[in-house]
Amino acid sequence: MGQETETSRPAPPAAGEDIKVSPGTRGLVPAPARANFPVLPPTPKGKSVRPRWLRGAFAVAIVIAGAGAAAYWWQHSRSQLPPGIASGNGRIEADEIDVDTKFAGRIIEILADEGDMVKAGQVVARMDTQDLAASLKKAEAQVEGARKAVAEAKANVAQAISQQVLAQQEINRANELVQKGFQTREVLDQRRQQMDGANAVLKAAEARVTVAQHALEASTHDVELYRVNIADNTLVAPKDGRIQYRIANVGEVLPAGGKVFTMLDVSYVYMDAYLPTAEAGRVKIGADARIVLDAYPNVAIPAKVSFIATQAQFTPKTVETKDERDKLMFRIRVKIDPERLRARADAVRSGLPGLAYVLLDPAVAWPPKLQGNAAK
């Protein structure tokens, strides 16, 4: 009776149920129930879970390493140049020539377009010259009138000369008669006055010839001027080159100096590079140079130094230098031989980036990569 059987023992409390101890079960404490914690899925064998920030840091490290490698390659490639050669970045350029109107007028014909290769003296556009043509006809008529005036003045001179000859003959006869006593001296004085009048008439006729000739010359110059103005209204290419821009079109009325075309002079192609003081100070006018374009990395174009700036300039933002500590640079211009350009006018381009190499020491030989096919 005093012993407790297994069937009389109270059942253990369920999970989350409060534990109550009855007076009859003192000393018997059930084990605490397990809490319902979420269960993590098992980690796949051979794989580890990395936070996202760790993966991002790893990607940034790869980018930085790549940039460092590129910078090292660039510095290493530049360091391969011999000590007597300097280089700088730039863009190949050609002189721009504006084809403008000399007089205000209307465009009646366009004979060239963008991208066309034109020769020196080739007609590229024509302006309306009807007003100048009318003025030319007027000047030509004035020339004809001036010529007739000159002819008339010369005829007057001939008449005055004949009167002068007659007056001289009368003086001679009167002088003989006076000496023989058959003529009075009064008649001789009259003949001398007639001679003086004939001389004056001759001088006046000769002066009128001079005036008429000057008028003829002025009229002739007017004709030449109008012809020149008409010719100047025919726009021609001043040099061999390529039409880069066409600004105006047929029918447009332009003022004096209105721009119709912009063309590139293919005989003057150059590249401006910037060098630090230590290298620019050793460059000489006429020094040998090479131009290597990014579009043609295996072609070294021969050139010569044609200009060295006398004042230092701040480094342009578009130019990379070998040492960012050099804040002041000197502009160096290397120019390609015009004869070489004329033979390759169709291949001339403007704005292509590249590198300019300058020979600082004439005793230094160009490396093989800068010789390339430069002789071709």
d(CA 178, CA 332): 97
Largest CA distance in the chain: 216
Q: Which three-class secondary structure state does DSSP give residue 89?
A: strand
The reply to whether the predicted model has a pTM over 0.75 is no
d(CA 99, CA 113): 13
d(CA 223, CA 83): 66
Return the domain boundaries, the chain.
72-95+265-371, 98-128+234-259, 130-232
Walk along the chain (376 residues) and give the pLDDT tens digit of each residue.
Answer: 444 444 444 555 444 444 444 444 444 444 444 444 444 455 455 444 455 655 566 565 665 655 455 444 444 444 477 888 999 999 999 989 999 999 999 999 999 999 899 999 999 999 999 999 999 999 999 999 999 988 888 888 888 787 777 778 777 777 777 777 776 777 777 777 777 777 888 888 888 888 889 999 999 999 999 999 999 999 999 998 899 999 999 999 999 999 999 999 888 999 999 888 888 889 999 999 999 988 888 888 899 999 998 887 765 555 555 455 456 788 999 999 888 887 777 777 788 899 999 999 888 888 888 875 544 4
Copy the structure tokens of residue 371: 């010789």
**Among 358, 356, 337, CA closest to 271:** 356
**Among 336, 337, 353, 342, CA closest to 297:** 353
Other CB atoms within a 10 A radius of the CB of residue 244 amount to 15
Q: Which amino acid is at 157?
A: V
CATH 2.40.50.100 applies to domain 98-128+234-259: yes
Other CB atoms within a 10 A radius of the CB of residue 67 amount to 10
Angle at 123 between CA 117 and CA 129, to 5 degrees: 150
Superfamily classification of domain 72-95+265-371: Efflux pump adaptor protein, beta barrel domain (2.40.30.170)
